[in-house]
A and B are shown apart, each in its own frame.
Chain A
Amino acid sequence: MVNAMVEINNYSVQLGKFKLNQINLNIGEKEIFAVLGRTGSGKTVLLESVAGFYRKFSGKVMIQGIPVIDVPLEKRNIGFVYQDFGLFPHMTVFDNITYGLKIRKMDKGVQKERVDKMAEILSIGHILKQYPGTLSGGERQRTALARALILNPQLLLMDEPFSSLDPATKENMYEQINKIHDIFGCTILFVTHDFNEAQRMADRIGIMVNGELKAVRKSTDLFEWCQDEEINQFLGRNYEGSVHE
């Protein structure tokens, strides 16, 4: 790949007993990349590593050719949607969503405009005045998405971003994310437990097993049979040609 947005070279990080082991991965500009894997396999840690969350590691993570930790966090232009949403509990939904705009001292009117647009896309207009503690799971998730998306980040990292949404809202979100992707040309790296979602959204899919990135495939070839028993099992395959649903 010529224009790599994210380059991960021999990256390892040790967290207690868990080790994210020797990750090598390039993600191209504007690519949508999905990460699959069992719970506890290190998907969140991988995402956090790309964002430069950890201080002690070996190997390299580069974004647009620059080691991510060499750029101050506030200048990285990364949108991060956490699995547990990470909403600011002391701010209303509106203040959560406009947080990045306020930091950039953006004009109040423009802020309002952008929020209204986001609120419409994500249908959260009715909860803007509520505090995160009072929201439903899906509302929290959409708030977290809005807060990240409103800044049009060049790299969007999302940890199971649609897991608490109903099928119809999910469908809508896929479309909206695709639209945002088309308009702003951001690179997206996201974690999901949903094979279907991964195939629909992503160009390529990576499979994590016990802290290792065991396979990277085109999303059209996700269920391809391979030698690795663990991967076949994870994908629900027990012999060539059949897929468990």
Chain B
Amino acid sequence: MRWKISTFDFFEILTIIITFIVIIFTTALILAIVLKGIPYLGAAFYSEEVRFSIRLSLYTASIATLICMLLAIPTAYALTRTVFPFKKACQMIIELPLSMPYLVLGLSLLIIFSSDFGKALKELGFKVVFDKNGIIIAQTVVNLPFAIRFIRTAFEEVDERLEFISGSLGATKWERFITITLPLARNGIFSTIILTWSRALGEFGATLMLVGATRMKTETLTTSIYLNLATGDTGASMASATVILIISLLSLFLTNWIGRKNKQESRMKDVNRW
């Protein structure tokens, strides 16, 4: 028995050592920003510019997340629960942007919205290029394939037999979706919302291509980091970076919190570990 325990222990120790290396590295990354940024944080909050960029970022990221979810949930349903021709191909097209650099995505957006179509939209009063609408579109386009992929996985994990049973008990497809699929996929959906939102806050490449980086106009938090760094104002950029970091930490915390199992639903509620 003895040798068995010692090999197992060696393996365990190795994994723990590697984990600590990763932790040290990650902490260094976070500390680098926090230590440099915190001294400027107070001043930053009083700066009109930083406040503008926080507001703009929160606003655009929230709208973009909303649009993403409104598009991703039905799409994910169609991809996992319906039958239509060339489904596999459709799915590949939808998820293709996942592997495209955001700069390139931004470039395609720029091409589309500077075309006659974009000009027609502008005539109608919907400005995209160099406008905050453009930020929303860039954030949406960049995040949509992610959101679809995550929600698709969440739907795939729901046992279709439960939906079948629900149907046999008289529920229409819509009722099955609302009462079974959606609640059972809720953790995945909430995490997707939070991830989409924080990724939208951090979006830079596609936004830059489509709306440029104009102070106090299209200046999101990330753009602010870029602009201030470019003009040598390291302090201001560190402050914006710290704000983003705080928001990311909050959203991480939220995702973990949502990821907890509803303990009431399980027999493990009175068991801590075994």
Contact = CB atoms under 8 A, between A and B. Distances in A.
A234 interface: no
Interface of B is mostly: helix
A79 interface: yes
Interface stretch (A84-92, A166-174, A211-219): A84-92
Interface residues of A, number: 26
B243 to A, nearest CB: 37
Interface size class of B (residues with CB under 8 A): 20 to 34
Contacts, number: 64
Name which of B169, B171, B184, B265 has the most chain A CB atoms within 10 A of its CB: B169
B172 interface: yes
Contacts of A53: 164
Contacts of A78: 168
Interface in A68-83: 72-74, 76, 78-80, 82
A103 B165 contact: no
Contact of A74 (B170, B184, B262, B269): B170
B70 interface: no
B166 interface: yes
A5 to B, nearest CB: 16
Contacts of B180: 88
B169 A100 contact: yes
Nearest to B268: A133
B167 A74 contact: yes
Given A131-B265, A133-B266, A134-B267, A86 B171 contact: no
B226 to A, nearest CB: 45
B169 to A, nearest CB: 4
A225 interface: no
A158 interface: no
A149 to B, nearest CB: 11
Contacts of A103: 169-171, 175, 179
A133 B267 contact: yes
Contacts of B262: 90
A204 interface: no
Interface string B251-269: 0000000000010111101
Nearest to B161: A86
Interface in A87-135: 88-90, 99-100, 103-104, 131-134
Given A53-B164, A82-B161, A74 B265 contact: no
Nearest to A86: B165
A100 B166 CA distance: 8
Nearest to A151: B169
B266 to A, nearest CB: 4
B39 interface: no
Contact of A134 (B168, B183, B266): B266
A103 B179 CA distance: 10
B160 to A, nearest CB: 10
Interface of A: 51, 53, 55, 72-74, 76, 78-80, 82, 86, 88-90, 99-100, 103-104, 131-134, 147-148, 151
- Smallest CB-CB A-B distances: 6 pairs: A73-B167, A100-B169, A131-B265, A133-B266, A103-B170, A133-B265
